[in-house]
A = this chain, B = another copy of it.
């Protein structure tokens, strides 16, 4: 979301665009607060396991918390179709209709919130476009941001994509069932996370086997419990 040919004019225009964007994010945040909904943004690389994590999460929250999902992709409704099987309200945002955008923006999220019964929800998951870079640059009004990083991606991703980890409320290290088949050093992941965001919470999970999901569900329920007084 930047170009290499800076000019005073463009920088000035971009600064004003980002200011307008942050105002839209603040409006989303106020809307979530008024509805008593905790919005959790879930970001990560393509194929990091964001949708599988949400499938497992929704199954475990059934009957405990009222959830909804906004899901962003450049194209296809594959993820919304998968998540809708859980029975919760799911809305797919295809950014190809907004310039093929590589991330969700506050204004786009706002447009689709009208399709979501916010007043009837405790938690709104927002699955961002698969991208470990650009979504980190845009506040969409979330209460918390989760970075999903799969063990197959290698240890050094926190160092190489620092903004995502600096702005995160929690890391979910996913696909841990594959560790025996990889050369990955989980201790090094922890070290590198700490280097860019000391003490950042991290769950190590496998959505496929269920391993580690207990700690993740505790974190999710803590987020819901921390919301303001009920309406």
The smallest beta-carbon distance between A167 and chain B, in angstroms, is: 12
Whether a CB of chain B sits under 8 angstroms from the CB of A33 is no
Q: With the chains together, A137 CA to B102 CA distance in Å?
A: 11
In the bound complex, residues from chain B placing their C-beta under 8 Å from that of A156 are: 76, 78
A163 engages B100 (CB within 8 Å): yes
In the bound complex, residues from chain B placing their C-beta under 8 Å from that of A74 are: 133, 160-163
Number of copies: 2
The smallest beta-carbon distance between A72 and chain B, in angstroms, is: 11
Whether a CB of chain B sits under 8 angstroms from the CB of A204 is no
Whether a CB of chain B sits under 8 angstroms from the CB of A108 is yes
Interface set, chain A 149-175, CB cutoff 8 A to B:
150, 152-154, 156-157, 159-163, 175
Q: With the chains together, A162 CA to B6 CA distance in Å?
A: 29
Interface set, chain A 24-73, CB cutoff 8 A to B:
45-47, 73
Q: With the chains together, A101 CA to B75 CA distance in Å?
A: 23
Instruction: Give the nearest-CB partner of A154 in chain B.
Output: B47
A2 engages B101 (CB within 8 Å): yes
Q: With the chains together, A133 CA to B160 CA distance in Å?
A: 17
Instruction: Give the nearest-CB partner of A108 in chain B.
Output: B4
State the majority secondary structure of interface residues on A.
loop
Q: Which of B47, B102, B175 contacts A134 (CB 8 A)?
A: B102
Whether a CB of chain B sits under 8 angstroms from the CB of A178 is yes
Instruction: Give the nearest-CB partner of A134 in chain B.
Output: B102
Interface set, chain A 172-201, CB cutoff 8 A to B:
175, 177-178, 181-183
Q: With the chains together, A132 CA to B75 CA distance in Å?
A: 13
The smallest beta-carbon distance between A166 and chain B, in angstroms, is: 11
In the bound complex, residues from chain B placing their C-beta under 8 Å from that of A150 are: 47, 152
Whether a CB of chain B sits under 8 angstroms from the CB of A1 is yes
Query: What would be 11 A-B contacts, judged by CB atoms less than 8 Å apart?
Result: A1-B102, A4-B101, A13-B13, A74-B160, A74-B162, A76-B159, A100-B133, A131-B131, A131-B132, A134-B134, A178-B182
Inter-chain pairs besides A75-B159, A150-B152, 14 sampled, C-beta below 8 Å: A2-B99, A2-B102, A3-B17, A13-B13, A45-B46, A46-B160, A73-B160, A78-B156, A100-B133, A131-B131, A131-B133, A133-B134, A152-B178, A178-B182
